[in-house]
Amino acid sequence: MFLGLDVLAPQLSSWRDKALFTPGPLTTSRTVKQAMLRDLGSRDIEFITIVKDIRNRLVALGDGVEEYTSVLMQGSGTFGIESVVSSVIPPDGKLLVLVNGAYGKRLLKIANIHKIPFVELAFPENTNPDPSDLEKNLESDPGITHVAAIHCETTTGIINPIEDYGRIVRKHNRTYIVDAMSSFGAYPIDLKKCEIDFLISSSNKNIEGVPGFSFVLARKAALIAAKGFARTLSLDLFAQWEGLEGDGQFRFTPPIHSILAFRQALIELEQEGGVSARGARYKKNYEATISAMQKMGFKTYLKPEDQGYIITSFYYPDHPNFNFQEFYERLSEKGHVIYPGKLTVADCFRIGHIGRLGLTDVKALMSAVAKTLSEMKIHISEKNEE
């Protein structure tokens, strides 16, 4: 597979899962999975040391060593987002969310369920939320205390300008929350430069760990200021941090095995050359995918300048024989898993460029796409060349 980092156990040498061209959970290395073959007590000093090491490495990845801290939270990425939203907004606070896709909408749902007043600043799915609209809203509504943005809106793969938003949020002295779930680890993010108070990502995206927990990179001062605001017990971000800072332990059963895998994944990220090298590999996957797909006649939903290298949305081909379910199943039988679309306005499917995959995997997927099109008797190239 990729880099030759995987140590294959001899008896497993012929075993291979399907390649996951999805937004996560992703294909992980053999060695990341092997790191889970342990039984460690949650109060064991070795485990506590590992958790501490992970927390330090995460803060370093965001260039936030002085001012920032990190909190691991059990559950998937959404649990981490809900932990932040339900823990850091004061009882009289109000959240503005910049929305251009399903994950922005999810943030609103979370605010709604916790009865947190919110303002939705919505834009079309192929358009970045406009920083000047954000500024106007902050100027006209002094009640807004917090602003939330999505970095890579995985709905489409669009990259939103979080640094531009951050500058405005700071200028107007509000607190800034960023869902960087699908970008952190593959796009360099300077927490301070982007003026981020709370960034959320999870174990099973670009760090290439397995599912089990999310993590929050928090400006210490903002986290401390949020003490007592939590609306739940299990997702109380400040209490979780206090526990990790105090005796180094989780308050409730930690996902030990996925934490062990994650530490190995962080080591492999470093071995690969860090965030920039990982981003470069994903970008190569992305470029190889786009050019092969375009040659076959597929069209991307986003304009190239808005498109990130995390995941790409492709329009369904305009051909009577195309049926996504059949296309998906035929690719899956060949060992490649793609992803359905999540758009409200256009019929698309998605191909992810992240996870432990390289050009060999992309090429294999592209030949499988070509073969599948021919099996389904779909000819789109001619149609698009007029």
Ligand X SMILES: *Cc1c(COP(=O)(O)O)cnc(C)c1O
> Which residues are at the interface with ligand X (CB under 6 A)?
23-24, 76-78, 103, 150, 154, 179, 181-182, 202
**Is the CB of 180 or the CB of 366 nearer to ligand X?**
180
**Is the CB of 79 or the CB of 324 nearer to ligand X?**
79
Long-range contacts of 335-341 (CB under 8 A, 24+ apart): 335/16, 335/18, 335/19, 335/364, 335/368, 336/18, 336/19, 336/21, 336/364, 336/365, 336/368, 337/18, 337/19, 337/20, 337/21, 337/22, 338/21, 338/22, 338/365, 339/21, 339/22, 339/23, 339/311, 341/313
Instruction: State the nearest-atom distance from the C-beta of 23 to ligand X, in Å.
Output: 5
Determine contact, residues 67/219, Cβ cutoff 8 Å: yes
**Is the CB of 160 or the CB of 372 nearer to ligand X?**
160
Instruction: State the nearest-atom distance from the C-beta of 8 to ligand X, in Å.
Output: 28
Instruction: State the nearest-atom distance from the C-beta of 24 to ligand X, in Å.
Output: 5
Give start and end residues of each alpha helix (H) in the chain: 30-34, 45-61, 77-88, 102-113, 131-140, 162-171, 220-225, 237-246, 256-272, 274-295, 324-333, 359-375, 381-384
Instruction: State the nearest-atom distance from the C-beta of 382 to ligand X, in Å.
Output: 36
Which residues have a Cβ under 8 Å from the Cβ of 6 and sit 6 or more positions away?
29, 30, 31
**Is the CB of 28 or the CB of 78 nearer to ligand X?**
78
Burial 213-245 (b: 16+ CB within 10 A, else e): bbbbbbbeebbeebeebbbeeebbbbbbbbbbe
Instruction: State the nearest-atom distance from the C-beta of 181 to ligand X, in Å.
Output: 4
H or E element in which residue 177 lies: strand 175-179
Looking at residue 307, the DSSP 8-state letter turns out to be B
**Is the CB of 69 or the CB of 202 nearer to ligand X?**
202
Instruction: State the nearest-atom distance from the C-beta of 338 to ligand X, in Å.
Output: 16
**Is the CB of 94 or the CB of 342 nearer to ligand X?**
342
The Cα–Cα gap between 119 and 139 comes to 13
The three-class DSSP label of residue 77 is helix
What six digits make up the tokens of 129?
A: 């939320």
Determine contact, residues 308/188, Cβ cutoff 8 Å: no
Residues in the chain: 386
Instruction: State the nearest-atom distance from the C-beta of 300 to ligand X, in Å.
Output: 18
Give the torsion sign (CA, 257, 274, 278, 245): positive
**Is the CB of 175 or the CB of 201 nearer to ligand X?**
201
Instruction: State the nearest-atom distance from the C-beta of 140 to ligand X, in Å.
Output: 28
Instruction: State the nearest-atom distance from the C-beta of 67 to ligand X, in Å.
Output: 24
**Is the CB of 200 or the CB of 373 nearer to ligand X?**
200
**Is the CB of 126 or the CB of 202 nearer to ligand X?**
202
Instruction: State the nearest-atom distance from the C-beta of 77 to ligand X, in Å.
Output: 3
Determine contact, residues 209/64, Cβ cutoff 8 Å: no
Of all residues in the shown chain, the one whose CB is closest to ligand X is 77
**Is the CB of 83 or the CB of 154 nearer to ligand X?**
154
Determine contact, residues 257/280, Cβ cutoff 8 Å: no
Query: Residue 124's Cα: distance from chain center in Å?
Result: 20
